[in-house]
Amino acid sequence: MRRLMGLLLMSVCLGSWAFPAHATRVRKLTLTQTRDQADTVLLGTVNAVTTRAGAGGKMVWTDYQVTIEELLLGAPGSSAAEATTVSFAGGRHGALDVGILGVPQLEVSQRYVLFLLARDNYPSATVGWGQGIYKVLEIVIDAVRRTVLLSYNRQPLELDADGALFRGSPIVVNDQGWQALSMQREDFDASPKAFEPLILDAAGKPIPQVLTPPQTSAVPIADRDFADVSHLRQFLSGELQESLAAGRQ
């Protein structure tokens, strides 16, 4: 048992390099947990993407160059006033092709809100892998242009009747417009799972992680109150709360 625990701890320490092909689930975080775990939160645009080989030539890293529009949370580093590099494990570099299940991918020319971790050589630069990534999109609903902050799994940030923030039912936004999708728990259970570090208590025993259900929006999309960057600023500063009603996690 001691040997097994040692191997498990070693796998955590080497987590940025030793990724299982059938990677495990990333624990579902609330918006508050996502905010509190972030070292910085920035609004910016991806302007370029490059790849590089890691130390030893067995790992590929994908680097996204992000022009910073606004630092929403955290103190900027000496070289992060106007731009920064956001890195994720995996990708193709020359003849080396490393695919890692669940690692997020960003789009060039797309605006994002990114909840970033200050960790070197960690597989995901963002909190909770895709949970710390929001596209900033403009959609037209009933002839009114509205800003939508769309999460990596297509859930927009919305405001409930009390003005609290939550993740709504997913929508698809593309060149043809927008489309509401049905929210099925099975869709999330079948989605790609990513490596999650083992969390131990003071006695060295694994702490069970409780999976929270996705939240839903029952109202039609035209009547949904989408949050924008100004609402997110308020949430990050503590002026706006998260809605923790049943099913909203």
Each domain of the chain, given as residue ranges in start order, spans: 17-236
Task: For residues 21 and 157, give the distance between their C-alpha atoms in angstroms, rounded to a whole number.
Answer: 31
Residue closest to 194 by CA, chosen among 80, 25, 7: 25
Beta-carbon-side half-sphere exposure of residue 93 (alpha carbons within 13 Å): 17
Is residue 192 very low, low, confident or very high in pLDDT (cuts 50, 70, 90)? Answer: very low
Task: For residues 206 and 167, give the distance between their C-alpha atoms in angstroms, rounded to a whole number.
Answer: 29
pTM over 0.95: no
User: What is the structure's pLDDT at 25?
Assistant: 59
Task: For residues 238 and 81, give the distance between their C-alpha atoms in angstroms, rounded to a whole number.
Answer: 24
Above 90 in pLDDT, residue 31?
Answer: yes
Phi, psi of 100 (to 5 degrees): -125, 120
Backbone angle region of 72, left / alpha / beta, with phi > 0 → left and psi within -120 to 50 → alpha: alpha
Query: Taking residues 158-184, what's their average pLDDT?
Result: 75
DSSP code at position 94: T
User: What is the structure's pLDDT at 145?
Assistant: 84
User: What is the structure's pLDDT at 179?
Assistant: 59
Above 90 in pLDDT, residue 84?
Answer: yes
Percent of the chain with pLDDT over 90: 43
Query: Taking residues 25-47, what's their average pLDDT?
Result: 92
Task: For residues 188 and 225, give the distance between their C-alpha atoms in angstroms, rounded to a whole number.
Answer: 24
* Residue 3, helix vs strand vs coil: helix
User: What is the structure's pLDDT at 180?
Assistant: 58
Task: For residues 78 and 18, give the distance between their C-alpha atoms in angstroms, rounded to a whole number.
Answer: 31
User: What is the structure's pLDDT at 170?
Assistant: 86
Is the CB of residue 169 less than 8 Å from the CB of residue 226? no
Among 48-62, 131-145, 157-171, 225-239, the range of highest mean pLDDT = 225-239
Residue with tokens 């960790």: 119
Task: For residues 135 and 133, give the distance between their C-alpha atoms in angstroms, rounded to a whole number.
Answer: 7
Is residue 38 very low, low, confident or very high in pLDDT (cuts 50, 70, 90)? Answer: very high
